[in-house]
Amino acid sequence: MVTNDKFYLSLALNEAWKYQGLTYPNPAVGCAITDKNGALLAVAAHKKAGLPHAELEAAKEALTKLNPLLIFPSEPNELYAFISKNHNNLLKNSTFYVTLEPCSHQGLTPPCAHLVVTLGARKVFIGSLDKTKKAKGGAQILRKSGIEVEEGVLKKECNELLEPFLLWQGGSFSFFKLALRLDGTYDNGIITSHEARVFMHKMRSVCDLIVIGGETLRADNPVLDARLVNGKAPDVLICTTKNIEKNANVFSVKNRKVLVQNSLEFPKKYKNIMIEGGSNFLRAMNGKTDRFLIFHGSDFGLSGSKRIETDLKLKLLYQGCVGNCSFGWHSKVI
Amino acid sequence: MVTNDKFYLSLALNEAWKYQGLTYPNPAVGCAITDKNGALLAVAAHKKAGLPHAELEAAKEALTKLNPLLIFPSEPNELYAFISKNHNNLLKNSTFYVTLEPCSHQGLTPPCAHLVVTLGARKVFIGSLDKTKKAKGGAQILRKSGIEVEEGVLKKECNELLEPFLLWQGGSFSFFKLALRLDGTYDNGIITSHEARVFMHKMRSVCDLIVIGGETLRADNPVLDARLVNGKAPDVLICTTKNIEKNANVFSVKNRKVLVQNSLEFPKKYKNIMIEGGSNFLRAMNGKTDRFLIFHGSDFGLSGSKRIETDLKLKLLYQGCVGNCSFGWHSKVI
């Protein structure tokens, strides 16, 4: 394996994919840093809105490695200020590898492009350019400060990582989550590991809508909250032509809306939409699904369990592991 | 992610897993090298018996990075001699991260431990110790030459990588290969990508026995050769209680033995054994299978395809991708 600039960016890319689905309304972004001699100092990602951007997180990780005595504040604004003051030129002439152009705007934290300038980086490799009105222009800030910038490294792969963000920015992003056994079976028993279910609850907690069909409601009577991570329960849309049991568990959660409708259209106000269900709902939602997130547990099923029936053909974008499960992000083959 | 010594060894470990099943009769081994300043120079693996050991391959990769003008001979012995003479101290004070203790013996190539000494490494991190009579003692050679050695980093994970080798050294290693669609269906149609099938043919070419059941023979009439890689076709064992069609494709390959028997016992002379089949054979072979190699394609099936029925519970050891497919190496949960 050639350990070149693409390799370092691919480390950042892989790290970012681990948090795909968790960063809404922000994009999934990864960042690696090497020092002036080329030694790897950090591979980090943006993990969640309200936590540091990838560049800030990577800078913290790099400085921790170089000076383990530093004690960093956890609040991102304070962290940004602290690092800007206390970096002590430790990252002078470093190289940054970012999957997305560093932001140029004051959001929850000040612009990442300014941070990279402050730290004295020598070169920045960028995967995707940021074309949002709000945040674009980071590369220009870097160049104006004399930092060498190389754009478009692993562009296709970085664009794939970014696409969910572009979709919800432009309207809405929807993904169908399936949890299957190794043999493709599913039912309302436990299919995936505890770690995988925690991961899915984290995702639920940042979705603003979960969509299910009436069949899932009747068969599983799910709560559809994010209790494993003490997270916010998203609103729920139940698509059904039949009457709904008023005591269903989904109604037991406070501070969430439950919508019941017989059409498959998503209400416009929701931007990050998770679809859960089985075989019939997967087929019904096919045309309205942007991505497929498919977990495979490590057990085989028992006869009598349900199975997916569809002739969908998918493209594997990223394959990861959590607990004893594997999961893949897929797009449709068009 | 902390980019510490464990991280570098994990890069080597992941690289080695990509070649698990292809290195027989040698173990799957990975090696990473960082320079005196900690910059990553190489992440390499032993790819196939007759090709360089991981340390030699990594040294070549590292020297290529440091001096792109070097032209290396491809034959491993010549490569070893060339690197020993022409390293020009470029790897002086480097650090090696190896999943397995460097070998101490003259095999097809001279001992890797001597190479590491010649190159002037400062420190070597070792995952698993080599306990084979023939090759053990590498760490001692390193220490005697003043190289610092740290053993047991990611020991559990490196031992998992090594275990197939230990099994065939001690008698035989068998793995059941399954190729399934995303929904667990299979049949004699094309399930996985061309790249995945090439990968499987490479594995076949280094197996000394493929085992199938009579049901597979009758349903699929497979050739069971390694034609996609122009490789050696392994011997075949057909376990069946019924008569076999004498014109079956499996008999059409020259220079291979086809054994037909009604017991499920593997003949003792075979050490690296690949089992192929479907649901019934998976259950029949359960007690005789050391590992499970499960490919998932990226399509869903069509109604009528076959499905696996077993209640096996597995542990995921490594998850990889090839082409548009994912694959996992699993052990049984005991």
Q: What is the DSSP string of B94-152?
A: -EEEEEEPPP-S-SSS--HHHHHHHHT-SEEEEEEPP--TTT--HHHHHHHTT-EEEE-
pLDDT at residue A8 in the model: 97
Token pair belonging to A298? 């490590």
Set of chain A residues whose Cβ sits within 8 Å of the Cβ of B39: 34, 37-40
Nearest CA in chain B to A283: B300
| Cβ distance of B313 and A326 shorter than 8 Å | no
CA distances, A214 to each of A4, A53, A246 (Å): 51, 39, 13
A293/chain B closest Cα distance in angstroms: 12
* Closest by CA position to A221, among listed A238, A204, A206: A238
| Cβ distance of B298 and A314 shorter than 8 Å | yes
At B12-21, the pLDDT tens digits run 999 999 999 9
Nearest CA in chain A to B39: A39
At B94-141, the pLDDT tens digits run 999 999 999 998 888 899 999 999 999 999 999 999 988 888 899 999
Closest CB to A308: pick one of B183, B298, B333: B183
B180/chain A closest Cα distance in angstroms: 8
Catalytic residue among B55, B157, B160, B276: B55
Closest CB to A296: pick one of B2, B296, B298: B296
Query: What average pLDDT does the segment A235-250 reach?
Result: 93
Inter-chain CB pairs, A–B, below 8 Å = 146
| Cβ distance of B319 and A324 shorter than 8 Å | no
User: In angstroms, rounded to a whole number, what is the distance separating the alpha carbons of residues A65 and A155?
Assistant: 29
Set of chain B residues whose Cβ sits within 8 Å of the Cβ of A15: 1
Closest CB to B321: pick one of A41, A298, A319: A319
pLDDT at residue A133 in the model: 85
Give the domain ranges of chain B. 3-169, 172-332
Q: Report whether pLDDT(A189) > 90.
A: no
At A264-312, the pLDDT tens digits run 999 999 999 999 999 999 999 999 999 999 999 999 987 668 889 898 9
DSSP states of B289-324: -SEEEEEE-SB---TT-EE-----BEEEEEEEEETT
A55 among known catalytic residues: yes
pLDDT at residue B166 in the model: 96
pLDDT band for B5, please (50, 70, 90 cuts): very high
Query: What average pLDDT does the segment B291-304 reach?
Result: 88
Q: Report whether pLDDT(B301) > 90.
A: no
At A131-161, the pLDDT tens digits run 888 888 999 999 999 999 999 999 999 999 9
Q: Report whether pLDDT(B213) > 80.
A: yes
pLDDT at residue A187 in the model: 85
Q: Supply the mean pLDDT for chain A.
A: 95
Closest CB to B315: pick one of A1, A181, A298: A298
Nearest CA in chain A to B8: A40
* Closest by CA position to B314, among listed B291, B297, B288: B291
Closest CB to A298: pick one of B61, B307, B314: B314
B206/chain A closest Cα distance in angstroms: 23
Best A18, A40, A177, A183 residue to mutate vs chain B (most B CBs within 10 Å):
A183
* Cβ-contact A125, A96 below 8 angstroms: yes
pLDDT at residue B210 in the model: 98
SS3 B82: helix
Best A300, A302, A310, A331 residue to mutate vs chain B (most B CBs within 10 Å):
A300
The ipTM is 0.93
pLDDT at residue B305 in the model: 80
Q: Could you tell me the pTM of the whole model?
A: 0.95
Reported as half-sphere exposure (CB side, CA atoms, 13 A), residue A25 has a value of 10
Length of chain A as a residue count: 334
The domain made up of A3-169 has a fold known as: Cytidine Deaminase; domain 2 (3.40.140)
User: In angstroms, rounded to a whole number, what is the distance separating the alpha carbons of residues B256 and B11?
Assistant: 38
Reported as half-sphere exposure (CB side, CA atoms, 13 A), residue B87 has a value of 24
- CA-based end-to-end distance of chain A: 31
User: In angstroms, rounded to a whole number, what is the distance separating the alpha carbons of residues B209 and B266?
Assistant: 9
Nearest CA in chain B to A12: B1
Best B8, B94, B183, B312 residue to mutate vs chain A (most A CBs within 10 Å):
B183
| Residues 6 or more apart in contact with residue A265 via CB below 8 angstroms | none
Identify the sign of the CA torsion B15, B20, B22, B28: positive
| Cβ distance of B40 and A42 shorter than 8 Å | no
pLDDT at residue A275 in the model: 98
| Cβ distance of A319 and B320 shorter than 8 Å | yes
Four-way CATH pick for A172-332: 3.40.50.10330, 3.20.20.80, 3.50.50.60, 3.40.430.10: 3.40.430.10
* Cβ-contact A296, B180 below 8 angstroms: no
Set of chain A residues whose Cβ sits within 8 Å of the Cβ of B179: none
SS3 A263: coil
| Cβ distance of A43 and B180 shorter than 8 Å | no
Closest CB to A15: pick one of B1, B185, B314: B1
